[in-house]
């Protein structure tokens, strides 16, 4: 069984580098199929990443037969901006897709269709031009439906050729996505392999309470259920003789669905698993700590298929002859549902810089979806009001937040101790601050531009209609102030 310590030791000692020689030996002709298995709302919480409580034999198999990356981060901590960036290879802040479910006709039919500017295309267009069949798979794996989620903040006509790779022509290579929702709330419990809440490892910013432990255990159990779905996909590939003709990417669309995770730029909101398996398991068993942005998956997938990524892409190729390494990743959070915000972060392997553009607003602004779906958020809000949280826990419920946050992840992996005002780190802080400012200019970050007020009004009205009554009921049952939600 691999532990967190053992895989980090393995990463530091590994002398194997997946370069052009290994890649060329993976395939000559025909061209490889490219399969993305995208899990929703998930951090690297599998056994192959060091969590011995979670039984994930199929994902662990992918890791054993492939390359496991320990430092992959999404560009946004919620699905629609993250997926918008992923499918274009561009930061969502550069293409007007940074607000969660913004200007979308499926959400608000009164809004006009929003189109991306030329020459931007979905990566599926480049696969098509190269002769690939593209599919967004719908169907059943492991007894659960995969629904073909896209969730982009723009309109696109005919983004895929079909709903399954079996629709392709004979001998035609395919690019396919399988989107798995099992780790999205509401969690799917695993009665066959229950996890004891008493033994889960809770982060120090969480209250140690039976409700919090049960909720965390439920999340971990949902990963076990998802793992069986992954196993079903691998079995189908084997049964169809496709496993060793296919490059498989397994990763998450954003971080885990706990408060201070999803929708925030701390690592639990943007740190996702990334495992890549090559045909015939070439390069198997590697553990690598390269910094990877999720938009790099797009460029790298094209490159591995023999397609040169367009020059306008922000994503970088990280495997093969065109491979580049990152010194840092950048992520951004803007409006989520009705909750207005603008946060940016720069993360190197050791340090994290966060810029809060609305420091006068609390971390835990009202978000009706999270208030109804995240029971631990309500629990800790109640305990905060009663003065029953320690310093690390109470900080998240303060009425204001600092304009800048800075963390030494080597000594403070939970991002609790803000060092922004500490003299010893000013050099590194200024360096990452300058990187952010340059990135904002170079990539055309649109976060400063005001969103059409009608969009925010629509989501405010929708959230009230969907959640106010239920939320008020929950607050009353828990003895909390209902005025907070008005």
Distance CA 303, CA 316 (A): 10
pLDDT confidence of residue 25: 39
13 is catalytic: no
Residues 145 and 269 in one domain: yes
The answer to whether the CB of 425 falls within 8 A of the CB of 350 is no
The residue out of 299, 326, 353 marking a domain boundary is: 326
Residue 20: enclosing H or E segment and its boundaries? helix 20-26
Distance CA 351, CA 462 (A): 38
**Model confidence at 59, in pLDDT bands (50, 70, 90)?**
very high
Domains: count for the chain: 2
Residue pLDDT, tens place only, 415-428: 999 999 999 999 99
pLDDT confidence of residue 28: 46
DSSP letter string, 429-465: HHHHHHHHHHHHHHHT-GGGSPPPHHHHHHHHHHHHH
Closest CA to 203 of 45, 76, 350, 54: 45
Residue pLDDT, tens place only, 260-302: 999 999 999 999 999 999 999 888 999 999 999 999 999 999 9
Residues 35 and 134 in one domain: yes
- Residues in Cβ contact with 296 at an 8 Å cutoff, skipping those fewer than 6 apart: 315, 316, 317, 318, 326
Residues 372 and 466 in one domain: yes
Residue pLDDT, tens place only, 166-211: 999 999 999 999 999 999 999 999 999 999 999 999 999 999 999 9
Beta strands 271-277 and 246-252 are antiparallel
For residue 2, is pLDDT > 60? no
Residue 26 lies in a domain: no
The residue out of 292, 326, 360 marking a domain boundary is: 326
What are the CA-CA distances from residue 425 to residues 93, 302, 327, 395, 428 (Å)? 28, 39, 18, 21, 6
Residues 295 and 362 in one domain: no
Residues 320 and 355 in one domain: no
Residue 23 lies in a domain: no
pLDDT confidence of residue 1: 35
CA atoms within 13 A on the CB side of 164: 10
Sign for the pseudo-dihedral over CA of 440, 444, 449, 452: negative
Distance CA 87, CA 76 (A): 13
Average pLDDT over residues 73-85: 98
Residues 77 and 210 in one domain: yes
Distance CA 97, CA 335 (A): 11
| Range of weakest confidence among 73-87, 106-120, 216-230, 386-400 | 106-120
Residue 20 lies in a domain: no
The residue out of 301, 326, 351 marking a domain boundary is: 326
Residues 298 and 402 in one domain: no
Average pLDDT over residues 456-477: 92
Q: Residue 191 CB: number of other CB atoms within 10 A? A: 7
The answer to whether the CB of 341 falls within 8 A of the CB of 361 is yes
Residue 148 lies in a domain: yes
Distance CA 78, CA 81 (A): 7
pTM of the full structure: 0.93
Residue 334 lies in a domain: no
Residue pLDDT, tens place only, 118-163: 999 999 999 999 999 999 999 988 889 998 999 999 999 999 999 9
Residue 90 sits in a domain whose CATH number is: 3.40.720.10
Residue 338 lies in a domain: no
Residues 305 and 414 in one domain: no
pLDDT confidence of residue 84: 98
3-state SS, residue 139: strand
**Model confidence at 456, in pLDDT bands (50, 70, 90)?**
confident
The catalytic residue among 43, 72, 79, 336 is 79
Residues 136 and 165 in one domain: yes
pLDDT confidence of residue 121: 98
DSSP 396: G
Measured between alpha carbons, how far apart are the two ends of the chain, in Å?
50
Residue matched to tokens 């802040």: 93
For residue 3, is pLDDT > 70? no
Distance CA 174, CA 301 (A): 12
CA atoms within 13 A on the CB side of 235: 10
Residues 114 and 239 in one domain: yes
pLDDT confidence of residue 485: 87
Residues 348 and 308 in one domain: no
Residue 234 lies in a domain: yes
For residue 12, is pLDDT > 50? no
Residue pLDDT, tens place only, 21-58: 334 334 446 899 999 999 999 999 999 999 999 999 99
Distance CA 194, CA 222 (A): 10
Residue pLDDT, tens place only, 427-454: 999 999 999 999 999 999 999 999 988 8
Residue 179 lies in a domain: yes
Residue pLDDT, tens place only, 298-355: 999 999 999 999 999 999 999 998 899 999 999 999 999 999 999 999 999 999 999 9
Question: For residue 403, what are the domain limits?
Answer: 343-485
Residues 213 and 280 in one domain: yes
């Amino acid at each position: 069984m691999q532990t967190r310590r053992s895989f980090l030791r393995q990463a530091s000692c590994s002398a194997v580098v997946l370069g052009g020689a290994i890649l060329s030996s993976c395939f000559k002709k025909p061209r490889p199929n490219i399969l993305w298995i995208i899990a929703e709302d998930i951090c690297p919480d599998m056994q192959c990443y060091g969590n011995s409580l979670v039984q994930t034999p199929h994902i662990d198999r992918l890791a054993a037969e492939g390359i496991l990356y320990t430092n992959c981060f999404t560009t946004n901590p919620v699905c629609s901006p993250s997926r918008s960036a992923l499918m274009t290879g561009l930061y969502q802040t550069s293409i007007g897709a940074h607000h969660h479910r913004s200007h979308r006709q499926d959400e608000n039919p009164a809004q006009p269709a929003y189109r991306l500017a030329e020459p931007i295309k979905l990566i599926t267009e480049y696969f098509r031009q190269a002769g690939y069949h593209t599919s967004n798979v719908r169907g059943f794996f492991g007894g659960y439906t995969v629904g073909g989620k896209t969730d982009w903040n723009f309109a696109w006509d005919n983004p895929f050729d079909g709903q399954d790779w079996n629709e392709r022509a004979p001998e035609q290579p395919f690019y396919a996505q399988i989107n798995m929702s099992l780790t999205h709330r509401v969690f799917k419990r695993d009665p066959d392999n229950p996890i004891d809440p008493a033994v889960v490892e809770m982060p120090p910013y969480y209250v140690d309470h039976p409700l919090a432990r049960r909720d965390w255990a439920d999340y971990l159990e949902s990963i076990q259920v998802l793992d069986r779905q992954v196993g079903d996909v691998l079995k189908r590939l084997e049964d169809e003789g496709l496993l060793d003709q296919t490059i498989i990417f397994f990763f998450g669309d954003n971080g885990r669905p706990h408060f201070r995770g999803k929708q925030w730029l701390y690592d639990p909101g943007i740190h996702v698993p990334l495992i890549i398996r090559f045909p015939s398991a070439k390069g198997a068993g590697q553990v690598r700590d390269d910094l990877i942005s999720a938009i790099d998956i797009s460029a790298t997938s094209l490159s591995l298929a023999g397609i040169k990524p367009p020059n306008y892409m922000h994503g970088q190729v990280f495997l093969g002859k065109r491979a580049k390494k990152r010194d840092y990743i950048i992520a951004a959070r803007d409006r989520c549902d009705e909750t207005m915000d603008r946060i940016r972060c720069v993360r190197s392997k050791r340090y994290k810089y966060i810029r809060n553009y609305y420091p006068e607003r609390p971390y835990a602004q009202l978000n009706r979806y999270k208030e109804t779906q995240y029971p631990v958020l309500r629990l800790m809000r109640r305990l905060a009001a009663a003065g029953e949280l320690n310093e690390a826990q109470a900080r998240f419920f303060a009425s204001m937040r600092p304009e800048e946050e800075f963390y030494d992840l080597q000594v403070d992996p939970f991002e609790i101790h803000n060092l922004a005002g500490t003299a010893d780190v000013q050099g590194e802080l200024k360096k990452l601050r300058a990187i952010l400012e340059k990135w904002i200019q170079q990539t055309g970050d649109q976060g400063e531009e005001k969103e059409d007020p009608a969009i925010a009004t629509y989501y405010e009205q929708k959230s009230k209609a969907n959640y106010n009554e239920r939320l008020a009921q929950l607050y009353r049952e828990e003895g909390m102030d209902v005025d907070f939600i008005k």
